[in-house]
Amino acid sequence: MGENKIISTVPGLILWIIASMAAGWIGSQFMPGEWYVSLVKPAWTPPNVVFAPVWTALYVLMGVAAWLVWRRSGFSGAMVPLVLFIVQLVLNALWSYLFFGAHQPMLAFFEIVILWIVILLTLVCFWRMSLLAGVLLLPYLCWVGFASALNFQIWRLNA
């Protein structure tokens, strides 16, 4: 790929990262607060300071992965993978509302399971188009798997 071609795709990279970060920004509107502090949590719950840097890194990786797929085939050539990607971004933001905003750990758990499945489907579709794009989604899939287990335990401990 020529230098001009790479430079011309930088705005696309920025837009995909911004789209990913937007899901995080929306989710951040529902902060843990006193309700979350009052919940019984498992001993393996990470400290709150871990979440922002982990999610920031994951959103950047997600944006780069989407950009790799988009750059390879465009939106029309990668419609299914990119629509799945957008769906998982919406589900990602929705989880924060359900858990922290609506204080519904049970509903949030069922939603995060659906999110994990959509991430897996997205990862498989991305992997088929770009090995690197698929690999970049692996940490996200693992983190949401961990978050699912944590969500389940918090629901169980506070039911």
pLDDT band at 99 (very low <50, low <70, confident <90, very high): very high
Q: How many C-beta atoms lie closer than 10 Å to residue 33's C-beta?
A: 11
* pLDDT at residue 1 is higher than 60: no
* pLDDT at residue 56 is higher than 80: yes
pLDDT at position 5, please?
53
Share of the chain above pLDDT 70, in %: 95
Domain count, the chain: 1
* pLDDT at residue 55 is higher than 70: yes
Mean pLDDT of 13-38: 95
Q: Which domain holds residue 58?
A: 3-158
pLDDT at position 154, please?
98
pLDDT at position 8, please?
61
Q: Which of 159, 28, 51 is nearest to 105 (CA)?
A: 159
Mean pLDDT of 125-142: 98
Looking at every residue in the chain, the average pLDDT score rounds to 94
Give the CATH number for residue 70. 1.20.1260.100
112-to-2, 56, 98, 117, 118 alpha-carbon distances in Å: 41, 19, 10, 9, 10
Q: How many C-beta atoms lie closer than 10 Å to residue 130's C-beta?
A: 20
pLDDT band at 9 (very low <50, low <70, confident <90, very high): confident
What's at 52, amino acid-wise?
Answer: A
